[in-house]
Amino acid sequence: MQLAQQGDITLWVREKLIDEVADVLARDHLQKYISPDEVSDYVDAITLLANWVDDRPEIEIPNVCPDPDDNYLIVLNQDADAHMLISGDKDVRSVQNANLYDKRRISFVVQTSRAGK
């Protein structure tokens, strides 16, 4: 988040990603690491800092990830014409088609393992 605040990186998000981040961070097993208020503040900060890309209709999202629920992340990378898609999700990282996922090229950065730290 600090890199985005400093202007060193640009965050790209879409509504579906913000909803997923809020949902994951609000899970019961994460309550000992991040309070509901911190989740809200974190999501609000992303919402304010990020550039927004409209969600594509489901019919326009290609099926390229082992977990179809993650396909929208690849599409976000494409639609934002981002330089890199960073994800801790192994299914997203498994996509090797350079036209869809180039590890050298940043759409959205969220590190939930240390959220709120």
CA dihedral 68, 12, 105, 96 (to 10 degrees): 0
- Alpha-carbon torsion angle 33, 34, 35, 39, nearest 10: -170
pLDDT of residue 32: 95
The 10s digit of each residue's pLDDT in 20-33 is 999 999 999 999 99
d(C-alpha 26, C-alpha 35), whole Å: 8
Element (H, E) at 52: strand 51-52
N residues, the chain: 117
Chain centroid to Cα 71, Å, comes to 12
Q: How far apart are CA 72 and CA 61, in angstroms?
A: 7
pLDDT of residue 110: 39
Q: Where are the domains of the chain?
A: 2-114
List the structure tokens of 101.
Answer: 């996922």
- In sequence order, the 6+-apart residues with CB closer than 8 A to the CB of 78 are 100
pLDDT in tens, 12-21: 999 999 999 9
State what percent of residues in the chain have pLDDT above 70.
81
Residue with the larger pLDDT of the pair 95 and 60: 60
Q: pTM of the full predicted structure?
A: 0.76
